[in-house]
Amino acid sequence: MAVLALVGVLGMGCVGPLVEEAGGWRHRKQAWTIARPDGAGTPWQRVEVDGALLAFRRPDHELMSLQSRCSRPVASAEVMARHLLIGLRDREIVASSPVAVDGRSAWRQTVEVHGDPTGVRVETVTLVVGACTVDWILAGRAEDAESEAAFDAWWQSFRLDPARWAQPAS
């Protein structure tokens, strides 16, 4: 239950209008697109989760969501990713490393949350772009290769509109 509360609280920020398009969604205000989650196993069903722009559940109690908040002070993706763990007790960071989301630097972390009868595995990916932070979260009861592959494909489908989000010159 703590993980569901985490997913609900994390996205308390700017919730802009999503437009459903063939194959996914487009966020008009924040100028990005993302595909529908796909992959092997039971299909992901869209659900409503407080604070999430998009959330999907599978019958085996796996949940993945996307949250985005803008116009708040932001730090690096690594620091913003750590904020996702505030309030999670009995947690162990299993992995933490940089990744790229649409060619931009982001941060990925995997956490085991102990407690309850079985514990929960949480994977997050955090991207900071401009004054916005975008977080993807996968939560489930155990390591699950099918869910992890679907989650990876989902966050990797994220694309920023290059007309609005031009890459800074190196």
- CATH at residue 90: 3.40.1000.10
Residue 85 domain flag:
yes
Average pLDDT score over residue span 126-146: 89
Q: Is residue 72 within 8 Å of 10, Cβ to Cβ?
A: no
- 135-165 in b/e form (b: 16+ CB < 10 A) is bbbbbbeeebeebbebbbebbbbbbbeeeeb
Instruction: Specify the pTM.
Output: 0.84
Q: What is the pLDDT of residues 21-79, one digit of tens each?
A: 888 999 988 899 999 998 787 889 999 999 899 999 998 789 999 999 887 767 889 98
Q: What is the pLDDT of residues 2-36, one digit of tens each?
A: 444 444 443 333 444 699 988 899 998 889 999 99
In a domain, 130, yes or no: yes
Q: Is 165 inside any structural domain?
A: no
pLDDT at 163: 81
Instruction: List pLDDT tens digits, range 90-108.
Output: 888 999 999 999 999 999 9
The confidence score (pLDDT) of residue 111 equals: 92
Judge whether 72 lies within some domain. Answer: yes
Side-chain-side CA neighbours of 75 within 13 Å: the count stands at 6
Cβ neighbors of 121 (< 8 A, separation 6 or more) are 94, 110, 111, 112, 113, 139, 140, 141, 142, 143, 144
What is the span of the domain harbouring residue 40? 2-160
Give how many domains the chain has, as a whole number.
1
Pick 108 or 117 by higher pLDDT.
108
Q: Is residue 144 part of a domain?
A: yes
